[in-house]
Amino acid sequence: MASDFKLVLPIRPRRLRRTASLRAMVEETVLRPADFIAPLFVVEGKGKPDPIASMPGVNRFCIRDLVKECRELHRAGVPAVALFPKLDPKLKNDEGTQALNPDTLVLRAVRAVKNAVPELTVITDVALDPYTSHGHDGVLNEARDNVANDRTVGILAEMALLQAEAGVDLVAPSDMMDGRVGAIRRALDGAGYTDTGILAYSAKYNSAYYGPFRDAVGSAQAAGMKLLSKATYQMNPANRLEAIEEVLLDVAEGADMVMVKPAGLYLDIIREVRNATNRPVVAYQISGEYAQIHAAAKMGWLDLARCRHESLLAIKRAGADLILTYFAKDMARVLQG
């Protein structure tokens, strides 16, 4: 009878799955609030938090409310925030000159956060897309058919200096220009900011999943420019070996941490990068990844809490030391119990 059938098995993996306590004892990957970095959007004024329709639960904050959010994140055990400004379109131009204003929005936000929550690590984006009228990450050449790499790098180095002066802990060049990490490191060191770290967006892919973020910072128009695509500087999603080359170049130029972006769609790249360097590896669970989980949960097709946890667990299991995620505060609170 089938009911009497017995296997003689010296090894039964299910033995260690039998109870919750046994499963916890042999769990290989564990999420902690300290694993998360919270991306935050800041706007001018004193208005209430401005919800971003394509990113449920995510808001743009005025500086006053940004400080309040940072306090809450710190209490939840999240160690770091990454700040992204949304500027008034009237302040934007082809050259992104507002990025070099010593009193620009993000620098005022940095000062306010560091003054209110000095223990919190503050990270700032080094790229021109929030500041340019065309929405690209750098200035354009005369023909307007390419981003001018070297001239852009010079501007990025000046941006990084201003951010260091404002008190940031890590500057994060997300532009994917060649040579920008080395130029920023030299500028920082030359001005005496040897303690300001660089979190390099080393393997940033030209993903179709950035749409909600571009809505959030007001740079969406760049994705559809007739003569110029972000594919001219962001990486081809088909490429794996190129990611390792980019990471090793950034490490050689002085990057303190390296990033893979997106995260969930590029778990194989996270593992490759983890195997290639001893630098801390950061992964960015991007806006589109966040939005699709929320959208499916809203339709009743997925369990939000379980999918949120599993998605982040997979990123850490792949080799990420730190994860930028819009789930940071909610997940930290859950993990704190």
User: Contact at 8 Å (CB) between 217 and 274?
Assistant: no
Q: Is the pLDDT of residue 220 over 90?
A: no
Burial degree of 95 (CB within 10 A; 0-12, 13-18, 19+) = middle
For the four alpha carbons of 182, 188, 194 and 198, in that order, the dihedral sign comes to negative
Q: Specify whether 261 is catalytic.
A: yes
* Residue 271: pLDDT band with limits 50, 70, 90: very high
Give tens-digit pLDDT for 281-317.
999 999 999 999 999 999 999 999 999 999 999 999 9
pTM of the model: 0.94
Q: What percent of the chain has pLDDT over 70?
A: 96
Dump pLDDT digits (tens) for 236-258: 999 999 999 999 999 999 999 99
pLDDT of residue 9: 95
Q: What is the pLDDT of residue 223?
A: 47
**Whole-number Å distance between alpha carbons of 194 and 199:** 14
Model confidence band, residue 81 (pLDDT cutoffs 50, 70, 90): very high
What value does the mean pLDDT of the chain take?
A: 94
- Amino acid residing at 167: G
Identified catalytic residue from 114, 261, 316, 329:
261
Measuring CA to CA, which residue among 124, 120, 104 is closest to residue 193? Answer: 124
At residue 1 the predicted structure's pLDDT band, cuts being 50, 70 and 90, is: low
DSSP count for the chain of H helices, then E strands: 11, 10
Token pair 């990084």 is at which residue?
A: 160
Alpha helices in the chain (DSSP H): 20-25, 63-75, 105-116, 149-166, 180-190, 211-217, 241-253, 267-276, 287-298, 304-318, 328-336
- pLDDT per residue as tens digits for the range 198-211: 999 999 999 999 88
Work out the end-to-end distance of the chain between its first and last CA atoms, rounded to an integer number of angstroms. Answer: 48
Q: Tens of pLDDT along 109-138?
A: 999 999 999 999 999 999 999 999 998 999
Pairing of strands 59-61, 36-42: parallel
Percentage of residues in the chain having pLDDT higher than 90? 89
Beta bridge partners of 258: 200, 281
Write out pLDDT tens, residues 147-196.
999 999 999 999 999 999 999 999 999 999 999 999 999 999 999 999 99
Domain boundaries 29-336, corresponding CATH code? 3.20.20.70
At 221 the pLDDT is 58
pLDDT of residue 229: 84
Active-site annotation holds for 204: yes
Q: Which of 86, 92, 204, 230 is catalytic?
A: 204
The helix (H) or strand (E) run that includes residue 80 is strand 80-85
Is the link from the previous residue into 212 a cis peptide, with omega within 30 of 0? no
| pLDDT given at position 283 | 98
Contact 65, 109 (CB under 8 A): no
Residue 88 has pLDDT above 80, yes or no: yes
| CA dihedral over 50, 40, 332, 112, signed as positive or negative | negative
**Cα(181)–Cα(111) distance, integer angstroms:** 24
CA distance 53 to 55: 6
Flag whether pLDDT at 145 surpasses 60. Answer: yes
| Residue 51 pLDDT exceeds 80 | yes
Q: Where are the domains of the chain?
A: 29-336
